[in-house]
Amino acid sequence: MDVLNLIGGHWAEGEGEEFADANPARPSEVVARGRFASAAEVARAIAAARAAAPGWAATPHHARAAVLVTAADLVDAAAEEWGAELAREEGKTLPEAVAEVRGAARILRYHAGAADRESGEIYASPRPGENVLVVRKPVGVIGMITPFNFPIAIPAWKIGPALSYGNTVVWKPSSLVPLLAYRLAQALTSAGLPDGVLNLVYGEAETGSAIVGHPAVDAVSFTGSTAVGRAVIARCGELAKPVQTEMGGKNASIVLADADLDHAAEQVSLGAFRSTGQKCTATSRLIVDSRVADDLLERLAARAAALVVGDPLEAGVEMGPLVSSAARDRVSSGVRRAVDEGAKALTGVEPHDGEGWFAPPAVLWLPGTDVDFWRTELFGPVVGAVRASGAEEALELANLSDHGLSAALFTKDLGVAMKAVERLDVGVLHVNSESAGTFPYVPFGGVKQSGFGPKEQGRAALDFYTREMTVYLGAPA
pLDDT in tens, 175-233: 999 999 999 999 999 999 999 999 999 999 999 999 999 999 999 999 999 999 999 99
Q: Closest by alpha carbon to 32, among 97, 90, 83, 72? A: 90
Residue 367, helix vs strand vs coil: coil
> Is 280 a known active-site residue?
yes
How much is the pTM?
0.96
Flag whether pLDDT at 354 surpasses 80. Answer: no
| Distance separating alpha carbons of residues 347 and 364, to the nearest angstrom | 7
Section 122-144 average pLDDT: 96
Q: What is the pLDDT of residue 261?
A: 98
Name the percent of the chain lying above pLDDT 70.
99
Q: What is the pLDDT of residue 217?
A: 98
Reported as type and span, the H/E element at residue 477 is: none
> Is 298 a known active-site residue?
no
Strands 447-448 and 403-404 come out as antiparallel
Name the percent of the chain lying above pLDDT 90.
97
pLDDT grade, residue 255 (50/70/90)? very high
DSSP 18-72: EEEEEETTEEEEEEEEEEPPPHHHHHHHHHHHHHHHHHHHHS-HHHHHHHHHHHH
> What beta strand segments (E) does 338-434 contain?
344-347, 362-365, 382-388, 403-404, 406-410, 428-431
Active-site option among 280, 318, 377, 456: 280
Section 266-293 average pLDDT: 98
Active-site option among 85, 90, 100, 246: 246
Q: How far is CA 39 from the centre of its chain?
A: 27
Q: Higher-confidence residue: 476 or 377?
A: 377
Q: What is the pLDDT of residue 16?
A: 96
Flag whether pLDDT at 476 surpasses 90. Answer: no
> What beta strand segments (E) does 327-405 contain?
344-347, 362-365, 382-388, 403-404
CB atoms within 10 A of CB 383: 31
Q: What is the pLDDT of residue 350?
A: 74
How far is residue 112 from each of residues 55, 71, 200, 375, 472, measured CA to CA in Å? 18, 10, 21, 39, 29
Section 288-294 average pLDDT: 98
Flag whether pLDDT at 236 surpasses 80. Answer: yes
CB atoms within 10 A of CB 95: 14
